[in-house]
Amino acid sequence: MVVDSNTWRQVFDRDRGYCRYCGVDLLLTFSAYCSADVDHIIARSVGGSDDVANLVLACRGCNSSLSRSAHLKTFEERKSHVEAQRAKGWPSYAKLLEAHRKGFGLQSNSTVETDARNSGARDSP
Ligand SMILES: [Zn+2]
């Protein structure tokens, strides 16, 4: 759900650019940054507000998996839902990266910009 840019920025900064559900670094690439969403813990459709206390930073994948989950009204319930979806076979980012590298004919250990994250340039959440 879209919020105004000031609110989006407040949530992004508070959550330090990490998806609160899966922990993916949304500053990893420009594409990841552009796909960063804000999730309403209590959906607007059931009375949730745009107050930052009701919002968490979410990657596109996590936010999409929560799109029909207005009945989940706490962060913990929503996080459990995301984790359950992943347990059903939602591939990890590392597996997706590996699969795409193979598809592109790259070696699995080839260097990509994700290595910047492993250099300690950013603190973990
Ligand atoms: Zn996520």
Over residues 24-65, the pLDDT tens digits come to 999 999 999 999 999 999 999 899 999 999 999 999 999 999
Residue among 3, 84, 93 at smallest CA distance from 41: 3
Task: Determine the distance separating the centroid of ligand 1 and the alpha carbon of 98, expressed in angstroms.
Answer: 18
- Taking domain 5-90, whether its CATH number is 3.40.190.10 is answered by no
Q: Tell me the average pLDDT across 109-116.
A: 49
Query: Which residues have CB less than 5 Å away from ligand 1 (the ion)?
Result: 19, 21-22, 59, 62
Whether residue 67 is predicted with pLDDT greater than 50 in this model: the reply is: yes
pTM: 0.72
The pLDDT of residue 1: 59
Q: Tell me the average pLDDT across 15-29.
A: 96
Whether residue 124 is predicted with pLDDT greater than 80 in this model: the reply is: no
Chain position carrying tokens 């250099």: 119
Task: Determine the distance separating the centroid of ligand 1 and the alpha carbon of 8, expressed in angstroms.
Answer: 16
